[in-house]
Structure 1
Amino acid sequence: MTSDTTSRMLRLLSLLQTRRDWSGADLADRLAVTVRTVRRDIDRLRELGYPVDSARGHAGGYRLASGTDLPPLLLDDDEAVAIAVALRTAAGGLTGIEETALRALAKLEQVLPRRLRGRVAAVQGSLAGIVWDEDRRGPRADPAVLATLAVACRDHELLAFDYATRHGTTSRRRVEPQHLVASGPLWYLLAHDTDRADWRLFRLDRVTDPLPTGRRVPPREVPGGDPAAFVAGRLTAAPVRHRAVATVRAPAAELRAAHPGLAGRLRPVDDATCRLDASDDALPRIARLLAGLDAEYTLDADPEVLDHLRHAARRLADAARYTDGGSGARPESTSP
């Protein structure tokens, strides 16, 4: 196949993805070729696995249909599901790219096999998100595990899996899965543990060998009615390595409006003051959170937190003196 033919076929495929139906004459006009050449190129696309339907007669034309398999050299099943969910999420709320995301989503879903559409719907319908002020890096969930849990949430099907605790011990758990919640790069399953008769959170990167039992149960109402808020509260209350609580001279409502991701960490003291729990396992995250506050505050924190903040402040002061001085000589660092 020549390079001209390859380029023309890629252009033809792009056109088929942008509109539901095309007449042979329209395609020939767009590609500056004959209708006969369009027919030959359509046959080549079919040979490569692209599901192109055609109809004869005056109203006939070509349509890129849903396939029994994904077209070759595009996406595997997990990639297709992940991209479709990401595009749906972007189209629903990421400022500035909604229209672009919708166009890309329309192209993908037009050829998405039916078996994958159910997985996409299950994942999307089971998701809730927690917005943090910073991107927390950490282990990602296995797409196959994510898809299995999403379907179990959608179908309200009892699920068994192996779960590793933060201490490294593993046990078999049996739960009624309710919601999947994303917190930064981490995913959590919110479920009712049948053995412990209580709500539990499970990090998906610690879940292995999920096995649907085939038994369906009625859905449960999450305490408070908001899965994301419930999970955020549990995460905030979880034990952390470093304690840091700031008393901020600003109303809690004002701080929530300026920093929506801090909502679960704030507690009002009075009309003009609130407390912010900045505790975390990582000292740099505490420093970045406190540095982002645009109000005066006092701090009650562990000694290692205070030491880290002092060293960070010295480095910032050194950098500021070097930048403002203009002497060309970097000051000697006061950090250890």
Structure 2
Amino acid sequence: MRDTEPHRLVHTGRRWYLIGWDTGRRDWRTYRVDRVRPRTPTGPRFTPRQAPDVDLADYLSRGVSTAPYRYQARITLHAPARIAAERVPPTVGVIEAVDGYTCLLHTGSHSLDELAIHVVLLGFRFQVHEPPELIAHIRGLAARLTDAVG
């Protein structure tokens, strides 16, 4: 059980999360609301802290889509950000517009296969910038796929 100073509720499109200050870890944390059990009676009063980010929805999206994973990927998608955002839920990745035709996808996974398959299935041309392990893994997959058909 954690003691938290709640700050704000934020919705990702699928779930509600509480952003709060974890007094034990002395850091900001995100908590799925469906897993939170309030303390009764309520805990001690506290002075509200400065939020960890101005855009808490973006902060939450980064926290649940990239930060907790072994591999954190940065991928250019050759698609406008608004189109890519229709296919990438905020719990899966953060879309950052580059210009009117391309955007960056920040996403993560514990599996290189999962990252490779996910980005391919989005249906856009893309370029992987990092991590280097993903670049090498996709090269290996491409060679195996080429061998399978040729």
TM range (shorter): 0.5 to 0.7
Q: Does 1:300 find its partner at 2:129?
A: yes
Deviation, 1:194, is 4.4
1:242 pairs with one of 68, 71, 76: 71
**Equivalence for 2:95:** 266
Q: Does 1:214 find its partner at 2:50?
A: no
**Equivalence for 2:141:** 312
- Structure 2 letter corresponding to 1:309: I
Distance 1:196 1:239, change over 3 A: closer
In structure 1, stretches of 5+ residues that fail to align are 1-160, 162-172, 322-336
Deviation, 1:268, is 0.8
Q: Distance in 2 between matches of 1:227 and 1:203?
A: 14
Percent identity over the alignment is 30
- SS in structure 2 at match of 1:212: coil
TM-score (norm 2): 0.63
Which has a greater percent of helix? 1
- Structure 2 letter corresponding to 1:294: G
Deviation beyond 4 Å, 4+ runs, structure 1: 176-184, 187-190, 194-198, 226-230
The answer to whether the 8 A contact 1:181-1:190 is kept is no
CA-based RMSD? 4.2
In structure 2, stretches of 5+ residues that fail to align are none
Correspondences of 1:1-12 after superposition (within 5 Å): none
Distance 1:202 1:267, change over 3 A: same
Deviation, 1:191, is 3.6
Distance 1:320 1:217, change over 3 A: farther
- SS in structure 1 at match of 2:41: strand
Which has a greater percent of strand? 2
Number of aligned pairs?
141
Q: Does 1:231 find its partner at 2:60?
A: yes
Q: Distance in 2 between matches of 1:305 and 1:299?
A: 8
Deviation, 1:176, is 4.3
C-alpha deviations, 1:121-179, integer Å up to 9, x for none?
xxxxxxxxxxxxxxxxxxxxxxxxxxxxxxxxxxxxxxxx1xxxxxxxxxxx3124676
TM-score (norm 1): 0.33
